[in-house]
Amino acid sequence: MIKHVMKGMRSLILTAIFFTGMIALATAQTTDKDVIDAYNKAVQLLNTDTKAAIASFEKCISLAGQVDELGDKAQESEKLAQDQIPKLYFKLAVESYKKRDFQGAINNFGKSRDTGKKYGNTALAQKSASLIPKVYYAWGKQEFIKKNYDNALKIFDKGISINPNLASAYLGKALVYDKLKQEDKMKQAADQAIQIGNKIHDQKTLNSARKFMQNYYYNHAVIAIQNKKTDLGMKYLQSSVSYGNNSPDVYYELSKLYNQQGKYDLAYTNIQKAISLDHGNEIIKARYYYTLGKIYEHQGKKAEACSAFKKALHPPYTESAKYEIENVLKCGK
């Protein structure tokens, strides 16, 4: 029994010695030529098969690690291989992005980042890292266009988790919440896009977010006014102005509402602002002068009202202005 055990142990020891020897032999057999050949093969593949080229460059580096003392040529091959790998992963990432393979782009930018750090290409590593959240934004935008709203939100959030200052992703979320009719979340996301856009000087996103909110509130104000919900209409118009809406239309609508509420001074201020902002001709401005005439009429300013209604004598206000002049105010009499 003891003899049998001892025999088995000798067999295991011999097997271990055999494999150790084989590994040592394999290491000893790796030469500078193997390193250089792997590099040259990778170079030949550069223009035809990027992935295979990367694999061959990685093999070159691995083989170089098995040689105790590399010659100058082999050292140069190893260094050139290390230089190529991050660049090639970056190339693959760009190609994936152009094909709208966003996950592939993210994966390869990640590899470019990691190998860039590993092999000392800090600039490329940083560039690759900065592009990953931007790819998430583009991906989320595509999902938004496809009306995959829940997925779009998740993807935008992934981009934000990597770069909390990704203002464009917050704007993307605002657009999604608008489609989902979640106004509170929409406003919160848009406000974040504006705040961050201003902080990082992303003027494009900042302007887009403001314009989106201006239009959102203005359009909803018009609908509310059409449905006789004047208080809600007023609230939406004021919100539109708070986001920077400085169009003559918003002040025109505000003036009409203030006039209806008997707030004639505010009505006058807003209609004058609309007139000053609209650089169109007198025909285009007829609607403003008709409203101004009504304001003056309510204030008991007959002469001013008559003057304003005369400027409003253009379609589609011709008949209404004429009626005010001849029958209501009896201008000239």
The rounded distance, in Å, linking the Cα atoms of 327 and 115 is: 85
Residue 70 lies inside a defined structural domain of this protein: yes
What pLDDT sits at residue 311?
96
213 close to 193: Cβ distance less than 8 angstroms: no
The half-sphere exposure of 52 on its side-chain side, counting CA atoms within 13 A, is 10
Residue 123 lies inside a defined structural domain of this protein: yes
Residue 57 lies inside a defined structural domain of this protein: yes
109 close to 96: Cβ distance less than 8 angstroms: no
Residue 229 lies inside a defined structural domain of this protein: no
Residue 214 lies inside a defined structural domain of this protein: no
209 close to 197: Cβ distance less than 8 angstroms: yes
What pLDDT sits at residue 20?
47
The rounded distance, in Å, linking the Cα atoms of 283 and 304 is: 19
The rounded distance, in Å, linking the Cα atoms of 292 and 269 is: 10
What pLDDT sits at residue 9?
40
Structural domain range at position 125: 24-145
CATH number assigned to the domain comprising residue 49: 1.25.40
Residue 160 lies inside a defined structural domain of this protein: no
What pLDDT sits at residue 243?
98
Task: Give the length of the chain.
Answer: 333
Nearest to 35 by CA among 64, 71, 70: 64
The rounded distance, in Å, linking the Cα atoms of 239 and 156 is: 26
Residue 11 lies inside a defined structural domain of this protein: no
Cα-based distances in Å from 114 to 56, 126, 158, 252: 18, 10, 19, 57
Residue 274 lies inside a defined structural domain of this protein: no
* Amino acid present at 301: K
pLDDT, tens digit only, all 333 positions of the chain:
444 433 444 444 434 444 444 444 444 588 999 999 999 999 999 999 999 999 999 999 999 999 988 899 989 999 999 999 999 999 999 999 999 999 999 999 999 999 999 999 999 999 999 999 999 999 999 999 999 999 999 999 999 999 999 999 999 999 999 999 999 999 999 999 999 999 999 999 999 999 999 999 999 999 999 999 999 999 999 999 999 999 999 999 999 999 999 999 999 999 999 999 999 999 999 999 999 999 999 999 999 999 999 999 999 999 999 999 999 999 987
**Total of domains in the chain:** 1
What pLDDT sits at residue 43?
95
What pLDDT sits at residue 286?
97
- pTM to 2 decimals? 0.84
